[in-house]
Structure 1
Amino acid sequence: MQCNLFKSHTNSPVAKNGFLDLSIHNDAIVKNEFANLKGEWKFFWNESKNPNQLHDFESESETIIVPSSWNQKIIDGKKLGSTGFATYYLQVKIPEKWKNRVLLLRVDYHAGAYELFVNGILSQSVGMFGAKKEISKNVHAPSIGYIYSNSEILNIVIHESNFEHRVGGIGREIYLGFPKAINSISNERRISDLFSISVLFIISLYYFFYFLIRNSDKSSLIFSILCFFLLIRALVQNEQILREYFPNGNYKIFLLIEYSAMYFAPSLAVHFFSLPIEFKFKNKIIISCYTISIGYFVYAIIVDTISISNTVLHFQYIVLILSIFSIELNVLAITKKIKHSWLSLGSMFVALVTIIIDMLIIQEKIQLPFTASYGLIFMIFTQGIILAVRHSEAFSTNEQLTNELTLFNENLEIKVNERTIELNSAIERMEKSVKARNDFLANMSHEIRTPMNIISGMAELLDESELKPEQKEYVSIFNIANKTLLNVLNDVLDLSKLEQGFLSIDTHEFRIDHLLNDLNKIFQFKTKGTSLTFDIQIEKDVPLLVKGDSNRISQILFNLLSNAFKFTNNGQVSLSLSLENNQYFVFTVKDTGIGMTEEKISNLFIRFYQAHDSNQIFQRGTGLGLAISKKLVELMNGNIAVKSTLGIGSEFVFKIPLMISTTANLVNSQLKQTNEQFHNLKVLIVDDVQENLLIVKKFLEKEVFSIHLSSGGYEAVTIFDENLFDIVLMDIQMPTLNGFELLKIFRKIDSDRFRFTPIIAFTANVTLEEQREINDAGFNGFLSKPVSKKVIFDKFNELLS
């Protein structure tokens, strides 16, 4: 990409039949101080003539026009083509004033390799001349050689070879003249190249950084890449700026750099012009263009240099098609009233004209300098201006919108403050409502669990006594009612925890067969007097001692079994347990009840959903059991599924991972529970409800010989101060002094006598707030009412171990 300001004068001499007389144009040549050695040179094909003998050569020989390629030269009726070697010869008669002066001979860059002799002396060489492909090495670079004209005749001989490019021969000008004039030509062309390179570099860098700042504008990035490709092409053309830094650089690499711009620039141009508009198959067309470009580039990497240079012969048509398509895109942009599209169309039209001229030059239809570089530079400058104007307009619009947004924000801030005040007031009311609800649930839990503790405790004590079968049946009824009521209460409280995100899992060791036996006792009673049967099956490979949350598993199974019995009038309800992958415990509850439709199954785990209408004869529930059960299964990293057929029955399956305990732990656990250490324990029980004191005392008295009871208040302080207890079991909600206040007093007494007594909270409140308060206060654990004898001794075991 250069702009040669030196133009040959129309009256400049032209060589004829290998002779150029510069002396007859003395005035013009002396004024310019240089001459263009153009015209007919003698030409010897596939010959390497001796430079010292050609000045005596007067016989008829072939001539060739310089500058031009030898591709179209016809010898013996055949075109020479591009590859081969030859000798060029020109005899020059110089002006009188040039004699005995130092002159410079400049040869513009062209495809081949050559040696240049003046009066038999080697003046300069580029590449490596050779009569064979193996020894000939092309280099694209201009060259300048010094000569001393000690006579009026200069015999100029050039040995030229080309085996690596599609164009052979001297295709560029050769200048002869004084050093100042010749150097001016070189400097001017160098400055022209550097100017193009610098401008392209600045434009490319500017729009690349603009894209980094505003990466939503893809046109800046594409335009930056397009400028970059044209930039690297400028580095390896004309004055070959890059060759100055890498004089021994590989010829193929330089050719790939030059041709990569030709391969990718048209695709980038299509992509760039298509960005502001939408049209059918847009993305496919862009991808196809890039695919073609990449395909040519990969092909060029694989093949030799002459094949690379030949790609221009067919790729020029692709360039032409894509250029015409780019013009159509600009016309489409005009129809869509995109700003500055007329200017963009004009720049692309200029580029298209220069591309067509270059195609004619490549096909040797006309003899002109290549012009596409100028057209592309004009297009780049124009598009750069258009982008800059569009960006400026975008910034102006953005500034206007920013001002409007600032004003809007100011008004919005006032409204937000007003809404914030209203929202804070609503949040405060909501928090009060939530607190009131939680307080109600806590009080309800306390008031219900206290009598439930008495009922379940008495039922358990009765169950351990000698009873008649009829009485045993009554006790079973107590247990069923108590368990059902407790499960409903747990579901309601768990719903509250679920809404607050505080539903938790308590992992501990337990026997899974004991858990299923407890359920069996409850639900076997439901089969009496009915045609129903209930059985539990545990597969042989299922470990019995595991670690998990037994209470939550029991809650899930109780809900599933309750539903199964509720909707099954006859047939069978079964519970089975199997092991999957030695990790997942699979619980299956199956019934032969009324079943469900697919629609009802899809809503089954939604809170408060009733699978059957209220006008049916079946007992209605809270609608919470299955929703809570599903959440509990998921909290234990498991999953639950249901299959059901209307009129045939349902099957609920849930899988949960449980840790398997060793047999040794089971033995140790059993030993602990039967160990005589319980006999030696000294236990204090503090509760303001006498029935609770009686029940816990009855639970413990067969194993623990020293049991002290207190109704709370300062009486409990006195008893604790006068005795050394191994464990204290203490209620929380008591008059005079509640459990937290007593704990502080007991800890103070313990600190005075350098002792630490394990104290267990015995509470009817099971809300998360109270659980956290109990832990933070310093209790060693808590038991929630109602409580069983087994649970108490398990907690004692936990503390003693």
Structure 2
Amino acid sequence: MFQKQTSIKLDGEWEFYYQKFLCSEDFKNQNALLAKEIMVLPGFWNEKQIEGKFYSPKSYSTFRLLLTLPNKPTNFQWSFYIPHAFTTYRMYLDGYLISENGIVGTTEIETKEYWLPKIIFFTPKTETVEIIIQVANYKSLNAGFRQSIEIGTQESMIQLKQSRLALDIFLIASLFVISLYHFTLFLLRKNDQSLLYFSMYAFVSMVYKLTSGEFFLLILFPDFEWRWLIKFFFLSVYLTFPFLLSFIAKVFPNETNKFCYYTFQFLFFSFSIFVLVSESTWIEETLFPAEITMLFCCIYTFWILSQALIKKRESAAGFLLGFLFLFLTVLNDILFEKNIIKTEIYGPIGTFVLFFSQSFFLSKKHSKLNLLVEKQKEELEQSVLLNDRIYHSNIHSKRMELELYKKTIQPHFLMNSLSAIRYWVSECPEKSALILDSLVGELRIILKVASKQLIPIGDEIDLCRYHIGVMKMRMEKEYKFKTVGIDNNELIPPLIFHTLIENAFTHEDSSNAKLSFGIFKKNIINHEKLFFLYCFIVGRIKFLTQHR
């Protein structure tokens, strides 16, 4: 029957004695009146009926089983795997106490709850051994065993315990690393809140595994209070879905209905607050409505992911497959907690699979981000080069502007004009005032227009008139200046005609000349396009009153 590396579950019919704590001596006493009943383990006695009524879970009872072992050599060592009971137990083998969790009692005050699966080694003296388990419960809504008691060889039980514990440690460590990894990414990219929500989701999933399965939290902290263990367990259950839903809402915001989103958030956080302020007996009362809410939340999440898949959102298919696996594990855990199926807690495995389903999306997202950073880096380098060129171009422009100021503010006629002013101040003060006013007007316009790229042609003509006026008084000659067809609001580069007039005075023999100046505008049509041509004329001729 027992082979190497195997174990047998002691599922089936056990003797059951409600509200009695019995030991081996009680069964040896033939005068003892024992009302024996039969109960199937694993199971809860509050699900058992007597005369149409259910037993109360807040009570105590005794389970008994006579087990016949196969022939083995003398002193062969066997082993039990004993899961936690609801909510405390004491186990005897052939009248000897071999294991207990917490303190069993006939009242709530006498009873101290504790959950920790154990393996127990024993060496039977006979082929048939008597197993007696005393169970007490005053906190939970269920009383009895949810999981199977197993028996096997010492080697097989050690391997079984180690494999289960190793799986728990692997999942706990993996979820912790996943949580820490995403939280670190969030610290680097605080605008991406989906990283924070997935980090919190992985963290509460880790707490869920710490407080279930092999109860690794109690292995680390043996004196950890049972009531806080229950609170942490239920908080991890109720907070899993708000963080997961928040994560999905951030990844697919356009597919998320805000009303449904906030409704589920409100319900789950209400359950969580109730867990914090309530005792364990009342906490379990919230489990059924919370499980119904979880199922509806899963349906809503499927709807979000389906919409994202239909709209061909990035990585929607991977999310949908990962969440489908998670949903199956959540459904398994709900049925397991309801004692409908005899499996294990698989929710953290679902979270682990969901992480890998979205890791491709995360990697792709970060890859795009790195490409964007590289592109922005190249653009920034090009921008720096462009700014450097603009900077040097501006310096060159300012230098050119400075040279223009030097040429315009200090023209070569300035010294002659000042000498003339000095002469007229002594000879004819009234005339010196006129030449000074004309010179000031000319310089004022030069300062106004010299730094501009375009100026109204009217300002340029005024500047020319001032300059000719200065030369009239300096040379004591009559100079004519005429414009034809000019629109004073048209824009031209500054100092064009002023420079030409200045050069005409400089290079012509102005002592004998009677110069006349003219600026004309001519319209030219070429290939059905209209062009404007400005003509500057200087000479010793009389202007006609009208030019074409």
Where does residue 188 of structure 1 map in the other structure?
163
Q: Does 1:412 align with 2:389?
A: no
CA distance in 2, matches of 1:428, 1:254: 83
Deviation at 1:427, TM superposition (A): 10
Post-superposition Cα deviations, 1:749-781, rounded to whole Å, max 9, x if no partner, equal xxxxxxxxxxxxxxxxxxxxxxxxxxxxxxxxx
Structure 1 residue 143 displacement after superposition: 1.9
Matched residue, 2:18: 45
Whole-Å Cα distance in 2 between the matches of residues 420 and 294 of structure 1? Answer: 62
Cα deviation, residue 370, structure 1: 4.2
In structure 1, C-alpha distance between the alignment counterparts of 2:256 and 2:317, rounded to whole Å: 24
Gaps of 5+ in 2: 407-548
Q: Deviations over 1:81-131 (max 9, x none)?
A: 532211000111111116532322220234310000000000010011112
Indicate conservation of the 8 Å contact 1:100/1:151, yes or no. no
Q: Distance in 2 between matches of 1:78 and 1:179?
A: 42
Aligned-pair distance for 1:231? 0.8
> Aligned pair 1:303/2:278, yes or no?
yes
CA RMSD, 1 decimal: 2.8
Partners of 1:89 and 1:135 in 2: how far apart?
23
Q: Could you say which residue in structure 2 is the equivalent of 1:712?
A: none
2:294 to 303, 308, 319: 319
Instruction: Check conservation: 1:125, 1:143, Cα contact below 8 A.
Output: no
> Contact 1:260–1:297 at 8 Å: present in 2 too?
yes
Give the corresponding residue for 1:215.
Answer: 190
What's the TM-score once normalised by structure 1's chain length? 0.47
In structure 2, what is the equivalent of residue 84 of structure 1? 59
Partner of 1:793: none
Quick check: 1:270 aligned with 2:239? no
Spell out the pairing of 1:246-285 with structure 2 (5 A cutoff). 246-279=221-254, 282=257, 285=260
Deviations 1:276-315 (A, max 9, x none): 3334885555444333333222211221112112221110
1:704-744 Cα shifts (integer Å, max 9, x gaps): xxxxxxxxxxxxxxxxxxxxxxxxxxxxxxxxxxxxxxxxx
| C-alpha distance after superposition, 1:198-224 (max 9, x if no partner) | 111111111111111122221111111
> Could you say which residue in structure 2 is the equivalent of 1:334?
309
For 2:189 and 2:110, the matched residues in 1 are separated by: 53
Contact 2:249 2:256 in 1 (8 A): no
Deviation at 1:232, TM superposition (A): 1.3
Cα contact 2:315–2:358 (8 A) shared by 1: no
Point out where structure 1 has 5 or more consecutive residues left out of the alignment. 1-27, 433-801
The verdict on how the C-alpha distance between 1:371 and 1:82 changes in structure 2, with shifts beyond 3 A counting, is: farther
Report how many aligned residue pairs link the two structures. Answer: 404
| Residues 1:240 and 2:215 are matched in the alignment | yes
Q: Does 1:156 align with 2:104?
A: no
Does structure 2 retain, via aligned residues, the 8 Å contact 1:43–1:87?
yes
> C-alpha distance in 1, partners of 2:49/2:308?
50
Change beyond 3 A, Cα 1:294–1:425: farther
| CA separation of 1:386 and 1:67: change in aligned 2, threshold 3 A | farther
Can you list the C-alpha shifts for 1:599-618, whole angstroms capped at 9, x where unaligned? xxxxxxxxxxxxxxxxxxxx
Q: Is contact 1:67-1:171 (8 Å) kept?
A: yes
Trace 1:64-143 onto structure 2 (pairs within 5 A). Answer: 64-97=39-72, 99-143=74-118
Pick closer, same or farther for the CA change 1:191–1:427 going to 2, 3 Å.
Answer: farther
Matched ranges for 1:628-647 at <5 A:
none
Q: Partners of 2:367 and 2:83 in 1: how far apart?
A: 43
8 Å Cα contact 1:358-1:372 kept in structure 2? yes
Flag the structure with more relative contact order, 1 or 2, with Cα contacts below 8 A and sequence separation at least 6: 2
| Distance in 2 (alpha carbons) for counterparts of 1:304 and 1:98 | 51
Mapped contact 2:165–2:214 kept (Cα < 8 A)? yes
Aligned equivalent of 2:153, options 178, 181, 189: 178
Q: Does 1:376 align with 2:374?
A: no
Q: Does residue 354 of structure 1 match 2:329? A: yes
Taking the aligned partners of 1:259 and 1:428, their CA distance within structure 2 comes to 80
State how far apart, in whole Å, the 2-side matches of 1:56 and 1:385 are: 69
Q: For 1:560-709, what aligned pairs fall within 5 Å after superposition?
A: none
CA deviation map 1:414-461 (0-9, x unaligned): 4432454268569989x99xxxxxxxxxxxxxxxxxxxxxxxxxxxxx
Q: Deviations over 1:116-158 (max 9, x none)?
A: 0000000010011112112222212112333221111110000
Provide the C-alpha distance between the structure 2 equivalents of 1:264 and 1:356, rounded to a whole number of angstroms: 17
**Which residue of the partner structure matches residue 7 of structure 2?**
34
AA aligned to 2:24 is P
Distance of 2:52 and 2:73 partners within structure 1: 42
Aligned to 1:61: 36
Q: How far apart in 1 are the matches of 2:183 and 2:139?
A: 36
CA spacing shift, 1:215–1:428, aligned 2, 3 Å:
farther
Distance 1:321 1:286 in 2: 12
Q: Secondary structure at the match of 1:53?
A: helix
Compared CA separation, residues 374 and 159, structure 1 to 2 (3 A): same
With over 3 angstroms needed to count, the CA separation of the structure-2 counterparts of 1:186 and 1:357, relative to structure 1, is closer
Q: Which residue is equivalent to 2:446?
A: none
Structure 1 pair 304/51, CA: closer, same or farther in 2 (3 Å)?
farther
Measure, in 1, the Cα distance between the counterparts of 2:367 and 2:255.
Answer: 30
Change (3 A) 1:355 1:233: closer
1:200 corresponds to which residue? 175
Task: Provide the C-alpha distance between the structure 2 equivalents of 1:423 and 1:292, rounded to a whole number of angstroms.
Answer: 69
What SS does the aligned partner of 1:223 have? helix
Deviation at 1:406, TM superposition (A): 4.0
Contact 2:206 2:348 in 1 (8 A): no
Distance (Å, rounded) in 2 between the aligned partners of 1:128 and 1:378: 39
Alpha carbons of structure 1 residues 173 and 98: separation in structure 2 relative to 1, 3 Å: farther
Q: Give SS of 1:31's match.
A: coil
Distance 1:68 1:428 in 2: 99
Q: Which amino acid aligns with 1:160?
A: V
**Counterparts of 1:339 and 1:286, CA distance in 2:** 21
Give secondary structure in 1 for the equivalent of 2:214: coil
2:48–2:55: 8 Å Cα contact kept in structure 1? Answer: yes
> Is the alpha carbon distance of 1:101 and 1:286 closer, same or farther for their aligned partners in structure 2, counting shifts above 3 Å?
same
Q: State how far apart, in whole Å, the 2-side matches of 1:74 and 1:109 are.
A: 24
Residue 183 of structure 2 aligns to a residue in which SS?
helix
Contact 1:203–1:384 under 8 Å retained in 2? no
Change (3 A) 1:381 1:67: farther
Amino acid at match of 1:54: F
The 5 A counterparts of 1:394-405 are 394-399=369-374, 401-405=375-379
Equivalent residue, structure 1, for 2:419: none
Q: Distance in 1 between matches of 2:281 and 2:334?
A: 19
